[in-house]
Amino acid sequence: MVVKPQVRHADDAGSAPEDRTKHPVDETLPPLKMFTSGLQHVAAMYAGVVAPPLIVGAAVGLSGTELTFLTGASLFTAGLATFLQTLGVWKIGAKLPFVNGVTFAGVAPMIAIVNTTENKADALPVIFGAIIVAGLLGFLAAPWFSRLVRFFPPVVTGTVITLIGISLLPVAFGWAQGPDPKAAEYGSGKFLALAAITLAVVLLLRRFTKGFLKQIAVLVGLVLGTLIAIPFGVTDFTPVTEADVVGFPTPFHFGAPQFALAAIISMCVVMLVSMTESTADMLALGEIVERPADEKTIAAGLRADTLGSALSPLFNGFMCSAFAQNVGLVAMTRIRSRFVVACGGGILVLMGLSPVAASLISVVPRPVLGGAGVVLFGSVAASGIQTLVKAGLEKDNNVLIVAVSLAVGIIPITKPDFYHAFPETAQIILDSGISTGCVAAVLLNVVFNHFGARRNDDEVTAPMEPGEEISEARGVKTAHAH
């Protein structure tokens, strides 16, 4: 459980007086604060949304114009999926400040589909058909999948939340090194300096400012970092000058969906991975905003994920899932209103309808994003540690669960080729440290804390004094963990 901060009244956050009795998640902010806070969410997740369509589009061999169209479609569908999650319809949507976008877990299998499709013109329709089927099946399975929440006590959720942050940090480090890993100046002092300056700006704003300016420190850091990058020759305004003002993602622009069994199976596996990660993200976000995600909330959230994925191909988009980097933004800013994130979804929709607007965010250099990402993703890991503090780590069983699960989850980060000998379908799951760590934590918790009559009976021993129990050393008696 995350350490509870001082609860603010709605009017303290700039909300209307009638919001005083509302939970912070359901509060509304003044228009300017709503827009800038929503824009901050868009800036945090933009690179993650546009990367998959750019990679898959390049593999298909799309022209520059078609790549721009595919990217805009991904932004548009991410906005629609975010609407489903934050605002909700019927039993669809977690109604939490939860951002949805294109999942990176689907990139490898989609590339495999492209490589195995004889006519490259059919590759995207085959991918879209597989996503539609996987999304519909996931929608039907959501209520049963959500029942797994009982297997996510604090020792599991804390481990998973920590892994989410740790897994995202290498992304920030990669951004900090520059836009092109193959370039000679990748990782040069120029790029690292820009990342460090952006990080410093965010930290200084968080330390020495108050109120709304403190809350949008990341957005201000991105703007100042981009301006500072101009003399370095890193900021490229070409996408803005070449983009069209208006452009609608025409339904089935690349052709009617096609349904191939192998592709469908592959995307169903990706859907299971995405549902696992989304469940972990919802549990993490529920702790951060102090509205714990129960079985009903998770089922509604998974329905939004899967329905958003099923509808996305209609507008030439890909499978949608939760964006963990935005969980870190909520944790850092403490702006918990789901309507702020819904506003971000509206910005994504507008960007999808206006390529020139979408290109404005793309002007932010990768090193600048990397500097801000260190704060965002590190905040997620810190939230996980806060949860683990209350997970009952005075027990040997729980220490083993955390130790082994973190080790399993970190494998794909420290040794990306560790599972290279496994089948490609298995690698989809194994290469996701969040998924493997989550599965390991759940299974170990069941084995150690549910099987046997004497679970959690052994006190953890102090590392510096083998054999001495912490409870004895400290003179305190702790309760058993559940």
Same domain, 327 and 397: no
How many separate domains does the chain show? 2
Same domain, 405 and 313: no
Same domain, 358 and 436: no
DSSP symbol at 9: P
Q: Is residue 7 part of a domain?
A: no
Q: Is residue 17 part of a domain?
A: no
At 203 the pLDDT is 93
Same domain, 438 and 337: no
In angstroms, the CA 272 to CA 439 distance is 12
Closest by alpha carbon to 72, among 217, 250, 256? 250
For residue 257, the SS3 value is: coil
The answer to whether the CB of 39 falls within 8 A of the CB of 219 is yes
For the CA atoms of 351, 364, 195, 171, the dihedral, rounded to the nearest 10 degrees, stands at 40
In angstroms, the CA 184 to CA 182 distance is 7
At 452 the pLDDT is 58
Same domain, 405 and 284: no
Last residue of a domain, one of 339, 372, 389: 389
Q: Is residue 332 part of a domain?
A: yes
- Those residues whose C-beta lies under 8 Å from the C-beta of residue 195, and which sit 6 or more positions away, are 175, 176, 367, 368, 370, 371, 374
At 80 the pLDDT is 92
The answer to whether the CB of 26 falls within 8 A of the CB of 337 is yes
The DSSP result for 34-74, as a single string, is HHHHHHHHHHHHHHHHHHHHHHHHHHHT--HHHHHHHHHHH
Q: How far from chain centre, in Å, is Cα 218?
A: 17
Q: Is residue 10 part of a domain?
A: no
Q: Which domain holds residue 434?
A: 392-482
What pTM does this model have? 0.66
In angstroms, the CA 288 to CA 47 distance is 24
The region that residue 481 occupies, defined by phi over 0 for left and psi between -120 and 50 for alpha, beta otherwise, is beta
Q: Is residue 186 part of a domain?
A: yes
- Those residues whose C-beta lies under 8 Å from the C-beta of residue 48, and which sit 6 or more positions away, are 101, 102, 104, 171, 323, 325
**Mean pLDDT (10-residue bins), the chain, 482 residues:** 43 45 85 88 77 78 77 90 90 88 77 79 90 94 83 82 81 86 88 94 88 75 89 80 76 89 82 81 85 88 93 92 79 86 91 77 81 82 82 84 93 88 75 79 88 50 40 39 38
Same domain, 234 and 294: yes
Using the structure block, give the residue that is written with the tokens 């209307």: 16
Same domain, 443 and 361: no
Last residue of a domain, one of 366, 389, 412: 389
The answer to whether the CB of 295 falls within 8 A of the CB of 149 is yes
At 379 the pLDDT is 78
At 1 the pLDDT is 42
The region that residue 332 occupies, defined by phi over 0 for left and psi between -120 and 50 for alpha, beta otherwise, is alpha
Same domain, 190 and 314: yes
Same domain, 150 and 231: yes
Same domain, 355 and 408: no
Within 10 angstroms of residue 112's Cβ, the number of other Cβ atoms is 17
Same domain, 383 and 408: no
**Where are the strands (E) in 61-167, listed by range?**
100-102
Closest by alpha carbon to 94, among 323, 312, 305? 305
Q: Is residue 312 part of a domain?
A: yes
Last residue of a domain, one of 342, 359, 389: 389
